[in-house]
Amino acid sequence: MLLSLLCAVALLLSAPNAWSQSESTTRAQGPVPVADLAEELLGAVVNISTSQRVSGRRSTPLPNLPEGSPFEEFFEDFFNDDSDRDGPSRENSLGSGFVIDPEGIVVTNNHVISGADDIDVIMTDGRSFPAEVIGRDEATDLAVLRIVPDTPLQAVSFGNSDDLRIGDWVLAIGNPFGLGGSVSLGIVSAMNRNIGAGPYDSFIQTDAAINRGNSGGPLFDLNGSVIGVNTAILSPNGRSVGVGFAIPAATVETIVTQLIDFGETRRGLLGVNIQEVTPDLVESLQLDRPRGALVSVVNDGGPADEAGIERGDVIVRFNNRAINVYSDLPARVAQIAPGTEVPVEVIRRGESLSLTVVLALRDGEGGEAAVIEPGPEPVSLLGMELSTVEEAYELGFEMDEGATGAVVTVVFSDGPAAAKDIQPGTLILEVGQQVVETPQDVVDRVDALREEGRSQILMLVQDNEGQSQFVALSAD
């Protein structure tokens, strides 16, 4: 009995130490072991060195040093070498890229090679090859290079970025600050980020360390597939603060394939203008929450028009993928080749409709929203005064020929219209998703919506520059 008791005490005393050793071992290994994976992938990631011939004085700025600093004279000598002050010089930059074809096809960012006279791709084993540009796309900041290697290269393939979830582990490999193949580990912090970089913003956000020189390098999942191209960082000091952005592989693969096949991009065109579904529009659009892309203009005769998409529809799914925020839609459309039939789901006046659209070839020419016909009578409501198109023209407002609707001629500073920044000269085209042709139509429709108990009045308006968008005005 005494022996059993002593053994039990010994186990209790040793247990915390055993747990501590186990926890210590786990912590020493880190959250995810990636050494083997990194070793497998490093050979496919390359450094990209570019140079550009410039003329005139040296463009490198002198560091901001305190006046009278003992280093001032040294830096002046270093940065202002008289030998080439007035002659031509070369500017060099470094970035990253990755091989997708053993025969020498390399993907990088367009901004890494933009303006370069010479481009060299440097392998991890030190070999260097001159590169030619197969194609580039400024809108998505992607470029494809070709080199001619002496032996087949190690290559990597694209994964499915649509399967990524917030919290998934990812691996970034690149050339930060010109240091060569560097590996950093992190997680997916967010998806579908819009950072104002262009028309197809829909970035993967990661806290894996990304710095200058990482641009164009791959972001891998733990299967070793490329699920993004590291492109930008958000930082007050130009260094990684754990907020980096990568172009999703779903976008990259489509653009890269087109650049290889055609030397240019051939994006699909849907033929609509869209806007964000803000919380104050939810009730009027009969949605359960802010989501999707609100169609403010349907180009006459375009793919969306032919498919039956209407102004005021909210596109919530495109090609069987959810449109969570309006910026998702341009990126989704750009990933699909012209001529492709695509299923589209829209919410129209609270009902879900399934449509099919055949995308056209984007050529940079936008259509105009259809317009209606004139009528009389000025009225006041919702903090604004309305007139017919003819009356507005007589008052000095510039109106497009054939324009119809109710024209805002006065906006009162303390009313609902002013709160939504509606300006004099704005043309009201629809109220509650019904076309209005006169100011009286606006009054009648607003009264009807108030009787239905609506607290927000949804209007389609066209500003002085011809841009249309939906706004929701308080009915009070």
What are the domain boundaries of the chain? 40-56+80-146, 161-262, 268-361, 379-474
Q: What are phi and psi of 33, to 5 degrees?
A: -75, 120
- Stronger pLDDT, 405 or 369, i.e. the higher one: 405
Judged on CB neighbours under 10 Å (0-12, 13-18, 19+), 401 is: exposed
In the set 184, 215, 327, 468, the catalytic residue is 215
Evaluate whether 268-361 and 379-474 have a shared fold: yes
pLDDT in tens, 393-447: 666 677 777 788 888 888 776 778 888 888 888 899 999 888 998 888 898 889 8
Closest residue by Cα to residue 468 from 292, 328, 298, 330? 298
pLDDT score of 84: 47
Is pLDDT above 90 for 306?
A: yes
313 is catalytic: no
Asked if 311 and 295 count as a contact pair (C-beta separation under 8 A), the reply is yes
Judged on CB neighbours under 10 Å (0-12, 13-18, 19+), 149 is: middle
Q: Tell me, what DSSP letter sits at residue 62? A: P
Asked if 252 and 200 count as a contact pair (C-beta separation under 8 A), the reply is no
pLDDT score of 226: 97
Closest residue by Cα to residue 183 from 230, 131, 241? 230
In the set 89, 96, 111, 221, the catalytic residue is 111
What's 161-262's CATH class?
A: mainly beta
Asked if 391 and 378 count as a contact pair (C-beta separation under 8 A), the reply is yes
Asked if 286 and 347 count as a contact pair (C-beta separation under 8 A), the reply is yes
- Stronger pLDDT, 139 or 345, i.e. the higher one: 345
Is pLDDT above 50 for 380?
A: yes
Q: What is the pTM of this model?
A: 0.61
Is pLDDT above 50 for 290?
A: yes
207 is catalytic: no
The 3-state DSSP composition of the chain as helix, strand, coil percent (nearest 5) reads: 25, 35, 45
> Does the domain at residues 40-56+80-146 carry the CATH identifier 2.40.10.10?
yes
Is pLDDT above 80 for 146?
A: yes
Cα 285 from Cα 294, distance rounded (Å): 9
Question: Of all residues in the chain, what percent carry a pLDDT higher than 90?
Answer: 35
Average pLDDT, the chain: 80
Instruction: Please list the residues that pair with 158 across neighbouring strands.
Output: 226
Is pLDDT above 90 for 40?
A: yes
pLDDT in tens, 3-12: 454 444 444 4
111 is catalytic: yes
Cα 61 from Cα 48, distance rounded (Å): 24
User: In the chain, count of helices (H) and strands (E)?
Assistant: 11, 28
pLDDT score of 85: 47
The architecture (CATH level 2) of 268-361 comes to Roll (2.30)
pLDDT score of 416: 84
For domain 379-474, give its CATH number from 3.40.50.720, 2.30.110.10, 2.30.42.10, 2.40.30.10: 2.30.42.10
pLDDT in tens, 49-104: 988 775 554 444 444 444 444 433 433 433 444 444 455 556 677 889 999 999 99
Judged on CB neighbours under 10 Å (0-12, 13-18, 19+), 338 is: middle
Cα 267 from Cα 264, distance rounded (Å): 10
Is pLDDT above 90 for 188?
A: yes
- Stronger pLDDT, 241 or 322, i.e. the higher one: 322
In the set 141, 207, 328, 441, the catalytic residue is 141
pLDDT score of 402: 75
> At 188, which helix (H) or strand (E)?
strand 182-193
pLDDT score of 1: 47
